[in-house]
């Protein structure tokens, strides 16, 4: 644990800090010499985070280095207000780390996603991060700091019932890669964390719509299996993931993509090496879509005979 004094600590911002990855990243940053602005829509859990750290850092120090800030990154005006707030909070105008972690899941068949659901997912997973980078760029450039994004295997793998979530992650992956190139002249690192299975509470529990084309027994079973995918496959604990990410943040290396979390590295090679037709076959088997095909084929054959 770092013994860095308050005056010499670096400064970080973590969005989505109230649970999961953001919660554990905030703790690890505090342990490693950062003052952290822990941003979230709900601030209650941040008090728990401070209490978790108190036995290690002392209550006084934990309260000094963890600074809760209520922020909904899907609202551009709140992001701009945060920038104004930081003008007074950062007297030297430096921000060493922006960790864009806040996220929202969206698990629905592609044909069932409403405009409102799609728009909200993009606002949180894409627009919010883009707005944060734009508004806080001058502080990061002044510090020659680091920007991190919580990407996802979903951004490179066509997991069924995840079309919109996957689209948002694919978008932020590409944004991060271009930003990585554009920030090089300013000495700002950009890291896109292609994240595999991590134990968080992000899973989407909304039910299958009544009018869904998948609303029949085999379709519902496949959908329910997809909803429980993460918890049923022994995901990496969030604190273990955070410890790995701290090494990336503190390193002098400048990668674009790093692969962290359960199966992240393996699936990256699968996506590069396995023919797409074989990949789709495997995903159909894995996510029980083969049973959906069988049910629809049987229904069609029965209809043909009755006609």
Q: Is 229 within 8 Å of 166 (Cβ atoms)? A: no
Q: What is residue 274's DSSP assignment?
A: S
* Cα(36)–Cα(124) distance, integer angstroms: 21
* Cα(39)–Cα(32) distance, integer angstroms: 19
pLDDT at 307 over 70: no
Catalytic, out of 23, 69, 165, 175:
165
Catalytic, out of 27, 123, 169, 262:
169
Catalytic, out of 18, 105, 152, 166:
18
Q: Is 68 within 8 Å of 16 (Cβ atoms)? A: no
Structure tokens at 80: 């701009």
Using DSSP bridges, classify how beta strands 97-100 and 10-15 pair: parallel, antiparallel or unpaired.
Answer: parallel
Main-chain phi, psi angles of 270, to 5 degrees: -60, -45
Structure tokens at 240: 């273990």
**Tens digit of each residue's pLDDT (9 = 90 or more) over 95-138:** 999 999 999 999 999 999 999 999 999 999 999 999 999 999 99
Position 6 scores a pLDDT of: 79
CATH 3.30.930.10 assigned to 10-207+236-274? no
User: Where exactly are the structural domains of the chain?
Assistant: 10-207+236-274
Position 251 scores a pLDDT of: 95
Helix segments in the chain, DSSP class H:
20-31, 44-57, 59-65, 76-89, 115-122, 128-143, 163-183, 217-227, 238-250, 264-273, 276-286, 289-306
Q: How far is CA 51 from the centre of its chain?
A: 25
Q: 């095909």: which residue's tokens?
A: 293
**Tens digit of each residue's pLDDT (9 = 90 or more) over 183-222:** 999 999 999 999 999 988 877 889 999 999 999 999 999 9
In the sheet that holds 10-15, the strands lie side by side as 66-70, 34-40, 10-15, 97-100, 146-150, 189-195, 257-260
Which residues lie across from 100 on neighbouring strands?
A: 149
Q: Is 150 within 8 Å of 98 (Cβ atoms)? A: no
Q: What's the predicted TM-score (pTM) here?
A: 0.93
Position 227 scores a pLDDT of: 87
Q: For residue 18, indicate whether it is catalytic.
A: yes
Share of the chain above pLDDT 90, in %: 88
Structure tokens at 254: 């400048």
**Tens digit of each residue's pLDDT (9 = 90 or more) over 141-195:** 999 999 999 999 999 999 999 999 999 999 999 999 999 999 999 999 999 999 9
* Cα(118)–Cα(276) distance, integer angstroms: 26
Q: Is 148 within 8 Å of 110 (Cβ atoms)? A: no
Q: For residue 105, indicate whether it is catalytic.
A: no
* Cα(177)–Cα(50) distance, integer angstroms: 34
Q: Is 20 within 8 Å of 106 (Cβ atoms)? A: no
Q: For residue 299, indicate whether it is catalytic.
A: no
Position 289 scores a pLDDT of: 94
Tell me the pLDDT of the chain averaged across its residues.
93
Position 167 scores a pLDDT of: 98
pLDDT at 261 over 90: yes
Describe the crossing of helices 128-143 and 76-89 by its angle, rounded to 10 degrees: 20
* Cα(60)–Cα(50) distance, integer angstroms: 10
* Cα(23)–Cα(46) distance, integer angstroms: 8
């Amino acid at each position: 644990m770092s013994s860095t004094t308050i005056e010499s600590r670096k400064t970080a911002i973590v969005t989505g800090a109230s649970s999961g990855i953001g919660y554990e990243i905030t703790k690890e940053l505090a342990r490693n010499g950062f003052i952290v602005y822990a941003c979230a829509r709900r601030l209650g859990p941040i008090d728990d985070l401070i209490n978790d750290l108190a036995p290690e850092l002392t209550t006084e120090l934990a309260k000094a280095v963890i600074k809760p800030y209520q922020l909904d990154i899907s609202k551009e005006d709140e992001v701009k207000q945060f920038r104004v707030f930081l003008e007074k909070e950062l007297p030297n105008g430096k921000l060493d780390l922006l960790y864009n972690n806040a996220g929202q899941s969206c698990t629905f068949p592609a044909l069932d996603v409403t405009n409102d659901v799609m728009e909200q997912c993009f606002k949180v997973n894409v627009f919010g991060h883009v707005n944060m980078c734009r508004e806080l760029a001058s502080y990061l450039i002044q510090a020659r700091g680091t920007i991190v994004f919580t990407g996802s295997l979903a951004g490179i793998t066509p997991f069924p019932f995840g079309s919109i979530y996957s689209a948002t992650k694919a978008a932020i992956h590409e944004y991060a890669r271009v930003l990585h190139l554009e920030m090089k002249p300013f000495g700002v690192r950009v890291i896109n964390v292609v994240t595999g299975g991590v134990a968080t509470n992000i899973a989407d529990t909304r039910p299958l719509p009544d009018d869904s084309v998948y609303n029949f027994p085999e379709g519902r079973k496949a959908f329910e299996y997809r909803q429980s995918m993460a918890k049923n496959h022994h995901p990496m604990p969030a604190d273990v993931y955070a410890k790995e990410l701290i090494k990336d943040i503190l390193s002098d290396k400048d990668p674009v993509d790093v692969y962290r979390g359960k199966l992240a590295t393996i699936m990256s090679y699968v996506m590069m090496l396995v023919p797409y037709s074989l990949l789709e076959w495997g995903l159909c088997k894995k996510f029980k879509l083969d049973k959906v095909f069988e049910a629809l084929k049987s229904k069609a054959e029965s209809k043909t005979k009755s006609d």
